[in-house]
Structure 1
């Protein structure tokens, strides 16, 4: 199994995708659904993650339980200026005056440009994926089992990383408030050849406290929409090879 996709929502996936493609140096792909965006972040040793953006009619609501922290790779001010030139904005969510910059993409999805930290060595352009959790320890066990990522030292109570120790950190952070709506960003995991299949991964997730999403929008797909112990959505993709 592997963590395959970071899935975002936007009112204009194509325009938002152009921003993220330029911001992260993505290799643009061909999404399965017309009007979506898909781009691949290629890291070292054949490791990659796809960024997928699907359409929604509404702007981002307050509260963001999963977002992207970007690595400035030693040039914080330069990266902020480049992102502003691509259409990002700086935003104030009451963060005070931290050493990182809080920004939003052209659709209003928040993200952060982080200051230099030793734990970000080798991450590539995405330093971390902070995810709000009511129980970081328990959610960390679930995501480790579903992705094959391993615990590493980080700033969050629980931090996972690809076993190559390359690419972004998945940070399980204490939630500031309980989840109340569908997340605008979520993760997809896919079964790999020779490992547990989709149904086995679903059953594993159920034994670890995850629940299936029962809303109408979550039905009728080749993937299975589930929620972790804290209510955060994730999808278990179908068996088989991912798109090239």
Structure 2
């Protein structure tokens, strides 16, 4: 029994526009599903994608506050020239520089047109084969504890764990990393970016949710009503969803 991270859920006032932005940013396709906009590799709507972690943009009435998101995407590049060209293209699509206290660093911090922060990394050997998304990065207080929880919650393998950083990746060693970065920030607002997990075919979703609770997850009531997914928070309060199998 295990769950697969299948998509990053991004909230936006204009889901279609932000979906188009991320499709252009990643070189993927945006699919209008009626309410949400799903962004994934060109060629279809399969969920889960065999390699990628997709992006699902969900409309909400509230604008993003000035508080930095506690989860963000890191984008991969293959050379300094690629990084510069990608930053320029993203800015032409509506991204703008973002300042999150990063100081002088070799990566570029930007925000999408609604203010969701992300990073365009300098070329790194670690991310040479991830595809356009190098990592989904989550701020936390205890990376070791997050590695234990998320390593138990999902079928992803813990690749690195220290007091300051933890990294997980799919058991096949493909697609992006899931990383937890130690920061002094504390959560002060609902998550505008979070992960969605999917059970394997034939697995009991209710049993998976019960297993997550035993690992330390707790239920989250966002006023979602009767929906086919389950909203939870991990031991540090990061929101996530367990989706119903398609």
* TM-score, scaled to structure 2: 0.88
Alignment match of 2:193 (pick from 170, 185, 205): 185
Distance 1:81 1:38 in 2: 24
Alignment match of 2:55 (pick from 48, 51, 61): 51
Map of 1:16 onto structure 2: 18
Contact 1:123 1:167 in 2 (8 A): yes
* TM-score, scaled to structure 1: 0.89
Matches within 5 A, 1:23-38: 23-31=25-33, 34-38=34-38
User: How many Å apart are 1:236 and its aligned residue?
Assistant: 0.7
Q: Would the alpha carbon gap of residues 168 and 10 (structure 1) be closer, same or farther in structure 2, given more than 3 Å must change? A: same
Map of 2:77 onto structure 1: 72
Contact 2:158 2:167 in 1 (8 A): yes
Map of 1:39 onto structure 2: 39
Distance 1:91 1:48 in 2: 26
Q: Would the alpha carbon gap of residues 90 and 132 (structure 1) be closer, same or farther in structure 2, given more than 3 Å must change? A: same
Contact 1:41 1:49 in 2 (8 A): no
Matches within 5 A, 1:25-174: 25-31=27-33, 34-41=34-41, 46-61=50-65, 62-74=67-79, 75-153=82-160, 157-174=165-182
Q: Deviations over 1:50-86 (max 9, x none)?
A: 2111112232221211000111221111110111111
User: How many Å apart are 1:20 and its aligned residue?
Assistant: 0.5
User: How many Å apart are 1:147 and its aligned residue?
Assistant: 2.5
Alignment match of 1:221 (pick from 207, 217, 227): 227
User: How many Å apart are 1:213 and its aligned residue?
Assistant: 0.4
Dislocated runs of 4+, deviation >3 Å: 153-156
User: How many Å apart are 1:42 and its aligned residue?
Assistant: 6.6
Deviates more, 1:131-140 or 1:221-230: 131-140
| Structure 1 stretches lacking a partner, 5+ long | none
Distance 2:204 2:27 in 1: 32
User: How many Å apart are 1:153 and its aligned residue?
Assistant: 3.6
Contact 1:129 1:168 in 2 (8 A): yes
Secondary structure (helix, strand or coil) at the match of 1:172 reads strand
Asked if residue 7 in structure 1 is aligned to residue 9 in structure 2, the reply is yes
User: How many Å apart are 1:99 and its aligned residue?
Assistant: 0.6
User: How many Å apart are 1:178 and its aligned residue?
Assistant: 2.0
Contact 1:135 1:229 in 2 (8 A): no
Map of 1:176 onto structure 2: 184
TM-align CA RMSD? 2.0
Contact 1:69 1:128 in 2 (8 A): yes
Asked if residue 210 in structure 1 is aligned to residue 210 in structure 2, the reply is no
Contact 1:119 1:154 in 2 (8 A): no
Contact 1:42 1:49 in 2 (8 A): no
Distance 2:32 2:56 in 1: 10
Q: Deviations over 1:189-214 (max 9, x none)?
A: 111124x3211111111111110003
Map of 2:46 onto structure 1: none
Contact 2:159 2:168 in 1 (8 A): yes
